[in-house]
């Protein structure tokens, strides 16, 4: 677990360093994610060693947004009188974004999986999609 956490932090540091050195508008952790993605494809052994810890961290990803979200306490006054604009942008903007992205993907998606063994997996996936979101 400590090894895996160290790996995540090392890749974050690498990402931060690259972002800073090249003055990229993309934050370090996102670059770190892309670097780790490549590393995991190259080394299945690394995948074995980081997977459990990484998934444990991701299983409570929602928790990590709570501190910044509570910042609404400090910023609520800045939108006074413009709640309608904020609400319209939030609700309509998000619905539009979800709809456009999903419809374009559906139009171009190559659904059938090549390997015959995948039929069972595809069925269970579509079954879970009915209840899932």
For position 17 contacting other proteins by CB under 8 A, the verdict is: no
d(CA 48, CA 7): 12
Segment 39 to 98, residues that bind other proteins, using CB under 8 A = 39-41, 47, 50-51, 53-55, 57-75, 78-79, 82, 84-86, 88-98
Q: Compute the least distance from the CB of residue 104 to other proteins, in Å.
A: 4
For position 23 contacting other proteins by CB under 8 A, the verdict is: no
Task: Tell me the CB-side half-sphere exposure of residue 38, using CA atoms within 13 A.
Answer: 7
Q: CB nearer to other proteins: give 21 or 70.
A: 70
Question: What is the Rg, in whole angstroms, of the alpha carbon atoms belonging to the chain?
Answer: 20
d(CA 22, CA 10): 18
Q: Compute the least distance from the CB of residue 31 to other proteins, in Å.
A: 9
């Amino acid at each position: 677990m400590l090894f895996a956490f160290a790996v995540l932090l090392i890749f974050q540091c690498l990402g931060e360093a690259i972002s800073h050195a090249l003055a990229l508008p993309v934050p370090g952790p996102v670059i770190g994610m892309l670097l780790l993605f490549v590393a995991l494809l190259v080394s299945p052994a690394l995948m074995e060693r980081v997977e459990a810890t990484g998934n444990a961290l991701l299983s409570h990803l929602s928790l990590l947004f709570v501190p910044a979200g509570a910042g609404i306490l400090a910023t609520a006054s800045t939108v006074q009188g413009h709640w309608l604009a904020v609400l319209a942008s939030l609700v309509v903007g998000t619905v539009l974004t979800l709809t456009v992205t999903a419809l374009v993907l559906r139009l171009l998606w190559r659904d059938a999986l090549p390997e015959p063994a995948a039929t069972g997996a595809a069925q269970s996936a579509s079954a879970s999609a009915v209840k899932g979101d």
